[in-house]
Structure 1
Amino acid sequence: MGSIPRRSVLAAAGIVLAAPRMARAQGGQLAIGTGTTGGVYYPVGGALANMISRGIPGMSATVEVTGGSVGNLQLLGANRVGLIFSQVDAAVDAVRGNDRFKGRPVPARAIAVIYTNRMQVVSTVATGIKSIPDMKGKRISTGAPGSATEVMALRLIEAAGLDPAKDFRARERLSPAESTNAVKDGKLDAYFFVSGIPTSAITDLGASPGVEIQMIDHDTYTAKIVEKYGPVYFNEVIPAGTYPGQKTDNKQMSVANVLAVREDMPADMVTKLLRLTWEGREELARTHAEARNFKLEGQKTAAAGIPWHPAAEAFWRETGANLG
């Protein structure tokens, strides 16, 4: 590893480890697992927590800053949070007990498909990096510990024929905000981050004086990754101009996001949470534009990746969704 100061895995999860045990909204409290402060999960989760606290009498919802999807699912499995944001790929692994959840499957159930997460591979023109293979020998970050960014980044690196343990001068595990600061300080050459768009940390990098941002195309590796890990990924494009200084479209790999709860959450609570979230989607969209992609036509069983909570399945059918 390089010499960039960073928190240990335990310290990075410190605020999570202190999270109260309130998975089932016991005592009128509900903890929501989100992500890092530089992404989309956190601000949208904050808006959702405010809506829940206002809209369900006697309920107080709080937001937990976490590493992201993997950490959220682990907390859900430990019954320490009651509602989480997660990428579908991590949720599928968790339910099946694969990869980081080996031997510890999580009883997660989808309640809504919310929006698409984009894999964003970020560098600057000054580094000379124009492709994933160009990263060999460079200093990179594959995302915060406990994040689905790290899972997806390692799968992408593998598909490109690189060894994450040997082929980089340094492989850090930083949040997007930390990664941006490290790039600006000349301590990092590129980083991976999976999120909705635009992401504040990447916007910050693109707007920095003297920096010309370089978004790395990687859509050519998607088919190989799907062949090994299943059809949870698909290609999309981040349009030119999404970020300051982004001159061309970025051809990248995406994955859907879900809101998930434990399978044993009471049906009436799931229905209340869903009704409030669906009816308040415009408020969520005022917090971040990605929330506008929370749509009825997006509620598909295939997109959710994991089984629906029965109350959520009933809610969406009654609302008019064609779950497929």
Structure 2
Amino acid sequence: MTSAEVTRRRAMGAGLGALAGALAGCSGASGPVRRLRLATGPEGGPYNAFGQALAQAVAASGHRIEIVPVSTAASVNNLRKLDDGSVELALAMADAAEDAVLGREPFPRPTPVTALARVYVNYTHLVVAADGPVRSVKDLAGRPVAAGAAGSGVQVVTERVLRAAGLSGAPAPAPVSTPAPTSTPAPTSTPAPTSTPAPTSTPAPAADERPLGLAASVSALREGSVDALFWSGGVPTPALAALARELPLRFLPLDDYVGPLRERYAPVYTAVTLPAGVYGLTEPVGTIGVGNYLMARADVPQDAVRDLLRVVFDRWRDLLREVTAGARLEPRFAISTGEVPLHPGAVAHYRSVYG
């Protein structure tokens, strides 16, 4: 990383206010303890589980920092809390984090936030009852769909998939990599017919998106009040594994939408696979992967960031155990945060440890 990049990333902190409540408590001769609030997600969800595990790991580490998990609606809500200073740290999905940094909807302006690490990948789940009428994304037209809680990253990716499928009431994003042909002129010897108008297709009705969190989504699918649920999380997600033991389910492939999403929103979206065996699947199911970032305000002190990252890399197996099976945290993965700048303290940590 060049010195210019580090300077640019430090500039992200310009104009931010001082940390609210940064110093609280004292641990005797070891000096003051810096208290950092971490926006996680709803209770019972993977962000909340990660936040609780991180708080416990930090408390046992001996570093002079304290992590206080704060339950929230997750990604979008977390980024807004970072911006307004009500928390110092947050978890957020990569697509929502890039939207915040670039000032894309639903953020009215660029938000000066930074990343500490890309910690794991969410798998997008589209789940339906096995004996129900939905067998593809297109079948969601006009049907009730649990689309993720308001202010969550699940809601962001759901809306984008439905938009790409022409089911959100908004036009599907046009591919940017395929320009209209210009080298071959249209034939002139055969005039176009004028008596028969070109056929027009009736747009499919939009899916009926319901803003439901994971627990409410599972209940709604079980009761039949929605025909499908979207979820973005680790594999296996315990609530979905429990539902699969109660109700025959079908997990629909979404990998065909990776390309359109990458063309429209940049490469935060990747092709991943729900493996055979999980949720009782007899064969793999291709779907959409989205990274999860551990985020921070730019004015969090560098020494606190470096202490925190030492704990994250020392204890990543414990932190990810309840979140996603089989995941690893490696430096080359952790620093891949796209348009979201790394915090200067994170840059210093990675340089000091990995060169």
Above 0.5 in TM-score?
yes
Who is 2:141 aligned against?
Answer: 136
Calculate the TM-score normalised by the size of structure 2: 0.78
Asked whether 1:316 is paired with 2:334, we answer no
Match among 128, 137, 145 for residue 123 of structure 1: 128
2:347 counterpart SS class: helix
- 1:81-101 per-residue CA deviation (whole Å, 9 max, x = no partner) reads 111111111111111111111
Who is 2:188 aligned against?
Answer: none
1:271–1:142 distance in 2 versus 1, CA, 3 Å: same
d(CA) in 2 for partners of 1:74, 1:102: 11
Who is 1:17 aligned against?
Answer: none
Who is 2:266 aligned against?
Answer: 230
Does the aligned pair in 2 maintain the 1:111–1:274 contact within 8 Å?
yes
1:25 is displaced (CA, Å) by: 3.1
Asked whether 1:95 is paired with 2:130, we answer no
Amino acid at match of 1:297: R
Q: Identify, as 1 or 2, the structure richer in helix.
A: 1
1:222 is displaced (CA, Å) by: 1.4
Match among 13, 23, 28 for residue 26 of structure 1: 23
1:22–1:126 distance in 2 versus 1, CA, 3 Å: farther
Match among 203, 206, 212 for residue 244 of structure 2: 206
Who is 1:109 aligned against?
Answer: 114
1:168 is displaced (CA, Å) by: 4.9
Does the aligned pair in 2 maintain the 1:111–1:258 contact within 8 Å?
yes
Asked whether 1:262 is paired with 2:297, we answer yes
1:62 is displaced (CA, Å) by: 1.9
Amino acid at match of 2:273: V
1:185 is displaced (CA, Å) by: 1.4
2:262 counterpart SS class: helix
Coordinate RMSD, CA, aligned: 2.2
Calculate the TM-score normalised by the size of structure 1: 0.85
1:75 counterpart SS class: helix
1:247–1:124 distance in 2 versus 1, CA, 3 Å: farther
Instruction: Output aligned runs, 1:172-183, within 5 Å.
Output: 172-183=210-221
Amino acid at match of 2:215: A
Instruction: Output aligned runs, 1:56-95, within 5 Å.
Output: 56=62, 59-95=65-101
Asked whether 1:159 is paired with 2:193, we answer no
d(CA) in 2 for partners of 1:163, 1:175: 19
d(CA) in 2 for partners of 1:295, 1:114: 9
- 1:51-93 per-residue CA deviation (whole Å, 9 max, x = no partner) reads 2233355643221221111111000001111111111111111
Who is 2:285 aligned against?
Answer: 250
Who is 1:299 aligned against?
Answer: 334
1:88–1:22 distance in 2 versus 1, CA, 3 Å: same
1:250–1:24 distance in 2 versus 1, CA, 3 Å: farther
d(CA) in 2 for partners of 1:57, 1:297: 25
Of residues 116-125 and 160-169 in structure 1, the stretch that sits farther from structure 2 once superposed is 160-169
Unaligned runs of 5+ in 2: 1-17, 25-33, 171-203
d(CA) in 2 for partners of 1:268, 1:291: 30
Unaligned runs of 5+ in 1: 1-20
Does the aligned pair in 1 maintain the 2:130–2:248 contact within 8 Å?
yes
1:43–1:119 distance in 2 versus 1, CA, 3 Å: same
Asked whether 1:282 is paired with 2:317, we answer yes
Who is 1:16 aligned against?
Answer: none
Of residues 91-100 and 27-36 in structure 1, the stretch that sits farther from structure 2 once superposed is 27-36
2:116 counterpart SS class: strand
Asked whether 1:272 is paired with 2:272, we answer no
Who is 2:28 aligned against?
Answer: none
1:144 is displaced (CA, Å) by: 0.5
1:291–1:280 distance in 2 versus 1, CA, 3 Å: farther
Does the aligned pair in 1 maintain the 2:268–2:338 contact within 8 Å?
no
Amino acid at match of 2:257: Y
| Count of aligned residue pairs for this structure pair | 296
